Structure 1
Amino acid sequence: MDIELQVETPRLLLRPSRLSDAPALFEFLGDRDAMRHTHADETLASCRRRIAVHEWRRRRDGYAPWTAIRKVDGRAIGWGGLYDDPFEPGWGCEVGYFFHPDAWGCGYASELVSAAMNLADEELKLPEVRAFVHPDNGGSRKILETAGFKVIRFIPEMNRFFFSRPRRQDGVIG
């Protein structure tokens, strides 16, 4: 399978993460307030570990979260994409996205999710992609619903809504 490792959207360059990205990504992945609806890295070393483990999975699975680079200024503003979570395994392929607070509300997450779902549907031909959203994260829920995801159920022990979206074929989801 010949998967493009780098993807461009109208405003973003989505590329495999590098350990040298860790300081820029840690600005938000390590910010407890920015990551209040999910896991925050405690240290720069733990952020590097997250990147390294996911990049190892890219070599194995053919996909992993990208570093999102804003084209206009070359700044790393986000991290996300498709992944089988190595830290909470067993859920299958998920889509996730995390952005610097300066980039919130600008539509970057929607661009990233659209690119990820195109990869899932057209290149990887995954039968389904899943996602999780904290109940207080209405913005994330809207992004997923716009991309065709549906709530499957609430998972109390995770305090998350579990979403799923079947593969789009010939422009039709499912």
Structure 2
Amino acid sequence: MLTEIKTERLLLRPFREADRPEMVAIETDPRTNRYRVNPPDGPAAEHRFDTWLEHWRDHGYGYLAVFGPESPALLGLSGVRSRDFDGGKVLNLGYRFHPSAWGRGYAVEAASASVDWAERELAPTPVLISVNVVNQPSLRVVERLGFTRYEETEEGDGAVVRHYRR
């Protein structure tokens, strides 16, 4: 079971119950939701956090809490979760950071470490990234990670989502 991943500047580890208030605050921050058609409110973010903990219990891996080099404050999340897509199992790569962490390369660093771990430990299940086509910052992260466009779908909420694989 994964205990932690260290990068040059970051520490990634499984979520703990104590991370809930900070992560719910990140999940419900309007700035982190500007590209979501239906952003989560408090109860929805709490439920999402519950599903992350449950995924860890069921699979032994999942989304990770990300911490920076100089502060014990939670910066955000990165990691992979099991997901059904296009008739098969994939590992959905997720990343979301507090606005104070934007612009420092943390998303690329954390996501790259998450993908490297997943490809090494969970192969041959492919890693997939799904991004709203209007979310240019996230599309730049995908590009820097070296993922290739795979498919584009329209979600039930009207958002057009581009899916990428490496």
The TM-score by the shorter chain falls in which range? 0.7 to 0.9
* Deviation of 1:49 (Å): 2.4
| Alignment deviations for residues 105-131 of structure 1 (CA, whole Å, 9 cap, x no partner) | 110001111111111111222341101
Distance 2:145 2:154 in 1: 24
SS of 1:154's equivalent in the other structure is: strand
| Paired amino acid for 1:159 | V
- Aligned with 1:111 (options 101, 106, 109): 109
Match of 1:41 in 2: 40
Q: Which has the higher helix share?
A: 2
Match of 2:69 in 1: 71
Match of 2:8 in 1: 10
Q: Does 1:126 align with 2:124?
A: yes
* TM-score (normalizing by structure 2): 0.86
* Deviation of 1:50 (Å): 1.7
Distance 1:22 1:34 in 2: 16
Cα-Cα RMSD: 1.7
Distance 2:164 2:31 in 1: 24
Distance 1:19 1:48 in 2: 11
Q: Does 1:145 align with 2:146?
A: no
Match of 1:164 in 2: 165
| Paired amino acid for 1:41 | P
| Alignment deviations for residues 125-148 of structure 1 (CA, whole Å, 9 cap, x no partner) | 234110111112122112112222
* TM-score (normalizing by structure 1): 0.82
Whether the 8 Å CA contact 2:31–2:99 is kept in 1: the answer is: no
How many residues are aligned here?
158
State, as a whole percentage, how many aligned pairs show the same letter.
Answer: 28
Whether the 8 Å CA contact 2:77–2:95 is kept in 1: the answer is: yes
Tell me, which stretches of 5 or more residues in structure 1 are unaligned? 166-174
Distance 2:25 2:53 in 1: 20
Distance 1:23 1:134 in 2: 26
* Deviation of 1:84 (Å): 2.1
Tell me, which stretches of 5 or more residues in structure 2 are unaligned? none
Distance 1:127 1:26 in 2: 29
* Deviation of 1:25 (Å): 1.3
Q: Does 1:52 align with 2:29?
A: no
SS of 1:33's equivalent in the other structure is: helix
User: 4+ residue stretches of structure 1 with deviation over 3 A?
Assistant: none
